[in-house]
Structure 1
Amino acid sequence: MEYIPELSPSDSPSESTENTCDIADESAGGELFEIGQRFLFSDSSISLSAEDLTSMEEEDTTDEYKASTLDSEHRANGKSYMQWHGFLRKLKKGSTMHLHPFHPNLPHFRLIKKQLKRRRNAQSLSNFSLSDLQVATDNFSHENLIGEGGYSEVYRGRLEDGELVAIKRLIRETPTNKAEDYLSELGILVHVDHPNIANVIGYGIEGGMHLILPLSLNGSLSSVLSGQKEKLAWCFRYRIALGVASGISYLHEGCQRRIIHRDIKSDNVLLTEDFEPKITDFGLAKWLPDQWTQLTVSELEGTLGYLPPEFFMHGMVDEKTDVYAFGVLLLELITGRPAIDDSHQSLVMWAKPMLISKNYAELVDPSLGDAYDSEQMNRMVMVASICIHQSSTERPQMSQVVRMLKGNECIQPINKKFQKRPALRRTYPVEFIEEEECTA
């Protein structure tokens, strides 16, 4: 995956003040910034003291030799490789790691100084050994496997103090990809602080890369909606919709840097004992710098059924990517149907005729009967319909979605929301195609 366009050195902080943030090192994998006596890695925003960084540099030159003997592609990225490898070695050594929840590319460094003072009690994450995790999961037994994706497996575990946890183990093949994905997700998780986003308890490097998170006792929203047990009551569905919308709105507008989750789906919404939703799995999430309106990807990443038209057409990703996926999730809550059913039919395509004709009653999950609030239901249906609009510019911001779901903002008419447009072949332009060209 690549960002278009790339940041130039002038985009990086360069003010010469008491709190100057100088670029200490730069590579394809990210940048190291110096703030006072600490160094922060930009992709994961994990901080190291100057003493820690020096100790890395003073270690033996074995890794330097390894980097110099890599093939031509790896030699070109040798510096990046060394940076990741040294950082992982430091993670592995520590019993805890202090991770400062702010991104280094902030415009005003007095703000950084204030935040550093406020964050002296920075989140401290435990470093779990492989033996700790093996004991917790009964040696990663299949019985404790509760989820798996394209690059990770999730196991149920119980720590020594009795706490139930979910242990995510990365399973990608190449060590470099593992390091980048792992640190990227870990860095984003320690930045976020919201009741509807899963927090991270710790990490593990030995024997592979692991993230340890609290276990959500009711499992995923997907498993609850599709389960054979008693169906999810409407009050919980509405609460889940509001919670997930609030969490995504926080990622888009409440963080110091915009975060695009890129894989919002019912499998990635975990439910606590009280059915409070927690957004999880930030493996595909990306920071989106303020000066960028979108980024472009060249690989099919995400989950079919939740991906918007512009992704298939041009590989475009921005906040509206998450908005579209949330619209699909709303349809799942309303209908009880999966995003893609056993016959491979898309939920969006199934629902559109009823949305166009405003036959909302036909959308409602039959298991609910009449046991739902009709006003809340109508708001959810109408919000879902505008979230899955074919044109990303017509979709609302997630902060608007929250207000609409609460009834605090009027929902605009949707008379022309589903106008059929000619199919376009997917391309990957360096410059983004104007909407008029897309719809011609």
Structure 2
Amino acid sequence: MQVSCLFLFWVHLFLLNFAFPSLSHPLLTPNNITLYGDAFFRNNGISLTQETTCLPSSSPANIGRALYAYPFRFLDLKNKTTASFSCRFSFSIIPNPLCPFGDGIVFLITSNADAFSFSNGYIGLPQRDLNSQDSFFAVEFDTSFNPSVGDINGNHIGIDVNTVVSFASVDVVSKGVDLKSGKKITAWIEYRDSAKLIQIWVSYSSTKPPSPALVAQIDLATQFKEYMHVGFSASNGQGSAMHTVDRWRFKTFRTYRPSVNPIDAIEEGYCFMCSPEDSSTNSPQIYRPHKRSFKMGNMAVALGCLTISVVFVIAIIAVICFFAVRKKRGVGRRGKRIQTRVQMNNVPTRLSLAEIKSATMGFHRNRIVGEGASAVVYKGSLPSAGAVAVKRFDQSNKECGRNPFTTEFATMMGCLKHKNLVQIQGWCCEGSELILVYEYLPNGSLDKLLHKNSDSVIFLSWSLRLNIVLGVASALTYLHEECARQIIHRDVKTCNIMLDDEFNAKLGDFGLAEVYEHSCASREATIPAGTIGYLAPEYVYCGVPTVKTDVYSFGVVVLEVATGKRPVAEDGTVLVDWVWDLWVRRKLIEAADCSLSGRYDVLEMERMLKVGLCCVHPNHEKRPTVKEAARILRGETSLPLLPSMRPTVTIRSNLLADSEDILNIGGDHSPSGDDAGWLTPKSHFSKA
């Protein structure tokens, strides 16, 4: 009996991964779907939770899960390849009007089908401990707001890997879909292993939108076991809602044909739950192949050959599997564990609060290496990573209504792998503590060395300064043009530029970052956030961040490095205004840092100062991209042409709705008084 079951299992796996296109399955039945918890079959679909009365705080969460009965093969250990996959499903979250919403629903790929968490807000996902060998990947459609796990709001999509803290998330309402509407929603989830890219679309219709709602880079080869279970999970927590799934297609595939768009391969997948519109007839088939025209004689021959081929293949597989099973039993459990274990390389890990406290001597003040508006940074030491920088967030501090921890965590866990970006190594979300752990950079911030804010006797030579500026340019070029999603840093300044042991620049602190799709044409105005002296005038008065606002901040950094002066001096002198004045008086070289004592290349110094002025041009359309600025700095293209007089530009405020004032920025029409160069109300920003 055991041999027969194993035989059927291996035949199923063969057909599932290498089947002919005409493979079909029966409609949703207990034969191919396994239900857990409160899930039940309902109208040819699944209800993962049951509508209940509002649960008292002491009641366990109402949790349900539905997984396909057989695991999918995601890793080929012999050939060291990872499967890509595509998935489409329709779901509804139907609320109980008398109760708050439940936790939400997730699409789940897990190595352990029996691992659950009964904590509210966990949506039934596994709650792993540090010693767990299990792994999971999930896309959550979250309808509850739980700040302790980094939720951005109570209506978002998030991507989770081995933790309920999403490393990438998006407000789904901003994408035109409300998870709490009670309407049927269709979701598409696609992973391309060749690009290490996950993409997610959502829509009320069955037509996939042109642009994904969420995109993130991740290498699932480091997360998946050889075989993983696939399905859905949902929970109600302290609320109540019906979480239903009524249509589902899923497909894994090994390689792409260049002539075929891999995204379209979803239409070739196996459909485990279908409505009549998915099939050309009412026959209970899960998948129907593309229609083809055959003459009756050819069809008979084809069917006969196909039948013989299938029988022959199954017979061979039966023999192979019989001996393989016997051999596998002889190897034992130890061999199986060695074969299927996949190490997590280069992936930040979750740390316990006890580990963090041990690393920082209980957050001892002597360990503090930096303090900001939203966090304190400690130097720590972990056995697995050596020296680290531990960033402890103040949850009571929110800038412009956002949680800096959530923003920074989601951004850093997305796609930020670049030599000139500070690399995250771990995080801790335990109790009231929100902590990120980064690589430790021994030479500290550029601000401290440039302005002698510490006891360090290190002198930044001209060659080091030029290399630092080029490193920052490389980081910003990556964020603006090369990352899967465009990232606007919004807080480029010298104290957020860290230096490693060889004085290479690494840009950090993404607590104010904004993430956009590259195709995004319009962006909403917000209250400007950042640091005085680094903010572009159009951003201050219009409130819309763009790559050119980062270019302006970069230009201020360039001038700061070349001159050794702060963006706003203690006497109120504004660096940008001062350098423009020297340019107008044909004395630009006098802006060079006097501490260099003339030990610099005059042509390189002039080039850097001109690049800085070009980047802080009052008219954002006249500014170069950071990539173009870097080429000028390296002497790969001609110097920018600057006007003989400081240019002016007219800006109308988008934020001050009741004001009709038009502001003239630059030239002789600049705002007068002590705040002329600040270009922003002092009370909104920090000078730090």
Distance 1:218 1:177 in 2: 31
Amino acid at match of 1:211: L
Amino acid at match of 1:292: C
Please tell me whether the aligned partners of residues 408 and 513 of structure 2 are also in contact (alpha carbons under 8 angstroms). yes
2:404 aligned partner: 181
Structure showing the higher helix proportion among its residues: 1
Q: How does 1:88-237 map to 2 (within 5 A)?
A: 112-116=192-196, 119=219, 120-121=221-222, 123-161=346-384, 163-173=386-396, 180-190=403-413, 191-207=415-431, 208-227=433-452, 229-237=457-465
Q: Is 1:390 matched up with 2:588?
A: no
Note the alpha carbon deviations across 1:225-284, whole angstroms, 9 max, x for none.
011624311110000011000110110001011100000000000001110000000001
Please tell me whether the aligned partners of residues 152 and 170 of structure 1 are also in contact (alpha carbons under 8 angstroms). yes
Q: Secondary structure of 1:115's match?
A: coil
Shift of 1:49: 3.7
Note the alpha carbon deviations across 1:144-200, whole angstroms, 9 max, x for none.
112122211111111235711111111031799999532331222131111100110
Please tell me whether the aligned partners of residues 337 and 347 of structure 1 are also in contact (alpha carbons under 8 angstroms). yes
Cα distance, 1:176–1:146 mapped onto 2, change above 3 Å: closer
Please tell me whether the aligned partners of residues 168 and 411 of structure 2 are also in contact (alpha carbons under 8 angstroms). no
Shift of 1:425: 6.6
Distance 1:335 1:110 in 2: 49
Note the alpha carbon deviations across 1:92-123, whole angstroms, 9 max, x for none.
9968999699xx99xx9877353349921364
Please tell me whether the aligned partners of residues 589 and 605 of structure 2 are also in contact (alpha carbons under 8 angstroms). no
Q: How does 1:399-418 map to 2 (within 5 A)?
A: 399-415=627-643, 418=646
Please tell me whether the aligned partners of residues 374 and 398 of structure 2 are also in contact (alpha carbons under 8 angstroms). no
Distance 2:400 2:376 in 1: 16
Distance 1:212 1:276 in 2: 20
Distance 1:92 1:22 in 2: 18
2:584 aligned partner: 356
Distance 1:160 1:218 in 2: 22
TM-score normalised by structure 2 residue count = 0.49
Cα distance, 1:168–1:413 mapped onto 2, change above 3 Å: same
Note the alpha carbon deviations across 1:191-238, whole angstroms, 9 max, x for none.
111110011000011241111001110100000001162431111000
Structure showing the higher strand proportion among its residues: 2
Please tell me whether the aligned partners of residues 324 and 387 of structure 1 are also in contact (alpha carbons under 8 angstroms). yes
Q: How does 1:7-26 map to 2 (within 5 A)?
A: 19-20=86-87
Cα distance, 1:333–1:141 mapped onto 2, change above 3 Å: same
Amino acid at match of 2:195: Q
Q: Secondary structure of 2:569's match?
A: coil
Note the alpha carbon deviations across 1:313-371, whole angstroms, 9 max, x for none.
21121000110000000011101111122123221122210123342221111010121
Distance 1:323 1:255 in 2: 17
1:251 aligned partner: 479
Shift of 1:24: 6.8
1:272 aligned partner: 500
Distance 1:25 1:53 in 2: 23
Note the alpha carbon deviations across 1:369-419, whole angstroms, 9 max, x for none.
121122221221111011000011111111111111111122331116722
Moved more, 361-370 or 348-357: 348-357
Amino acid at match of 2:510: F
Please tell me whether the aligned partners of residues 92 and 127 of structure 1 are also in contact (alpha carbons under 8 angstroms). no
Distance 1:93 1:326 in 2: 34
Cα distance, 1:322–1:165 mapped onto 2, change above 3 Å: same
Q: Is 1:324 matched up with 2:383?
A: no
Q: Secondary structure of 2:447's match?
A: helix
Please tell me whether the aligned partners of residues 99 and 124 of structure 1 are also in contact (alpha carbons under 8 angstroms). no
Amino acid at match of 2:406: L
Amino acid at match of 2:526: S
* Count of residue pairs brought into register by the alignment: 385
Please tell me whether the aligned partners of residues 97 and 127 of structure 1 are also in contact (alpha carbons under 8 angstroms). no
Amino acid at match of 1:413: L
Amino acid at match of 2:502: D
Cα distance, 1:360–1:53 mapped onto 2, change above 3 Å: farther
Distance 1:33 1:111 in 2: 22
1:59 aligned partner: 118
Please tell me whether the aligned partners of residues 388 and 438 of structure 2 are also in contact (alpha carbons under 8 angstroms). yes
Q: Secondary structure of 1:210's match?
A: strand
Shift of 1:91: 11
Moved more, 409-418 or 261-270: 409-418
Please tell me whether the aligned partners of residues 151 and 171 of structure 1 are also in contact (alpha carbons under 8 angstroms). yes
Q: Secondary structure of 1:239's match?
A: helix
Q: Secondary structure of 1:157's match?
A: strand
Please tell me whether the aligned partners of residues 293 and 318 of structure 1 are also in contact (alpha carbons under 8 angstroms). no
Q: Secondary structure of 1:232's match?
A: coil
Q: Is 1:371 matched up with 2:599?
A: yes
Please tell me whether the aligned partners of residues 400 and 529 of structure 2 are also in contact (alpha carbons under 8 angstroms). no
Distance 2:656 2:92 in 1: 30
Distance 2:638 2:569 in 1: 32
Distance 2:348 2:411 in 1: 14
Q: Is 1:337 matched up with 2:552?
A: no
Please tell me whether the aligned partners of residues 649 and 665 of structure 2 are also in contact (alpha carbons under 8 angstroms). no
Shift of 1:19: 2.0
Please tell me whether the aligned partners of residues 356 and 418 of structure 1 are also in contact (alpha carbons under 8 angstroms). yes
Please tell me whether the aligned partners of residues 192 and 255 of structure 1 are also in contact (alpha carbons under 8 angstroms). yes
Q: Is 1:261 matched up with 2:341?
A: no
The equivalent position to 1:381 in structure 2, one of 609, 627, 640, is 609
Amino acid at match of 1:59: F
- Structure 2 runs not aligned, ≥5 long: 1-84, 94-102, 124-140, 152-157, 176-187, 198-217, 224-345, 670-688
- Structure 1 runs not aligned, ≥5 long: 1-17, 27-31, 40-47, 65-77
Please tell me whether the aligned partners of residues 197 and 279 of structure 1 are also in contact (alpha carbons under 8 angstroms). yes
Shift of 1:288: 1.7
Q: Secondary structure of 1:211's match?
A: strand
Amino acid at match of 1:198: V
Amino acid at match of 1:121: T
Please tell me whether the aligned partners of residues 122 and 164 of structure 2 are also in contact (alpha carbons under 8 angstroms). no
Distance 1:195 1:278 in 2: 7
Distance 2:160 2:398 in 1: 15
Q: Secondary structure of 1:317's match?
A: coil
Distance 1:147 1:87 in 2: 23
1:428 aligned partner: 655
Task: Give the alignment's Cα RMSD to 1 decimal.
Answer: 4.3
Distance 1:270 1:396 in 2: 24
Cα distance, 1:21–1:379 mapped onto 2, change above 3 Å: farther
Please tell me whether the aligned partners of residues 351 and 428 of structure 2 are also in contact (alpha carbons under 8 angstroms). yes
Please tell me whether the aligned partners of residues 494 and 557 of structure 2 are also in contact (alpha carbons under 8 angstroms). yes
Distance 2:360 2:529 in 1: 29
Distance 2:595 2:349 in 1: 44
Distance 2:438 2:119 in 1: 34
